[in-house]
Amino acid sequence: MMKKLLLCGITALCMTSTACGIGGGESGKVQVDLRQPFVVDAKVTVDQTQAEASLSRYGDQAWDVTFSQPDSLAGVQLAFLDGQVTASYKGLSFSVPQSAMPVKSMLTIFIDLVGELDGKTELDCVKEGDTCVVEGSVEQGSYTLTLDQKGIPLKFEMPNQKLVMELSNFRQTDAPDGTESASEPAVTDTTEPEQTSGTETAAQ
């Protein structure tokens, strides 16, 4: 009899532990609106590389990214337009700096994902407290996109790419009149930075 009671107790404990380990999130839906132009601040970590930037979306595949950190990239602007990436610093155009390449690659993934989601008005998610977590996958791997209950993106993560993007200060804006982006393409993206006078410091 004691063995049966002990066995029942162990079984109940295991079931309780298993239920707790699964996680308490519940399935639901979150309303989103990524169709309008917007600006959001981002803190990007890619493996050992960290950067801070302001991301401005003007339309599908039309973005400007202006870095504030690290010091080697402060003031550098990347313009994403129709699959091409150009760089500039204080009005001078040059090749995308080598130090910006890891972040540029991850930003491209995020930009492509937003392009896929901007036609949707709601997404399936798991509700965790005041946030909603959307899970999915792209060619580069699986991702999680965390939004608040109003559908504002807060974090984008891709574990296999060692990527974490923390997003803040999201605000919708108006697209510039008569143009899809505030930046005109200057040179196509290359992997080796050009050493040009006046921009060498920014490109290192």
Q: Give 71's pLDDT tier (boundaries 50, 70, 90).
A: very high
Please indicate, yes or no, whether the overall pTM of this predicted structure exceeds 0.75: no
Is residue 163 packed enough to be buried (19+ CB in 10 Å), middle (13-18) or exposed (0-12)? Answer: buried
Is residue 79 packed enough to be buried (19+ CB in 10 Å), middle (13-18) or exposed (0-12)? Answer: buried
What's the pLDDT at 185?
38
What's the pLDDT at 176?
57
What's the pLDDT at 24?
57
Q: Is the confidence at residue 15, as pLDDT, over 80?
A: no
pLDDT (mean) for 89-97: 91
Q: Rounded mean pLDDT of the chain?
A: 80
- Decide the pairing of beta strands 153-158 and 141-148: antiparallel
Q: How far is CA 128 from the centre of its chain?
A: 20
154-191, pLDDT tens digit by residue? Answer: 999 999 999 999 999 999 987 654 444 444 433 434 44
Q: Which of these, 162, 159, 135, lies nearest to 146 by C-alpha position?
A: 135
Are 123 and 133 in contact by the 8 Å Cβ rule? The answer is: no
Question: In angstroms, rounded to a whole number, what is the distance separating the alpha carbons of residues 75 and 9?
Answer: 63
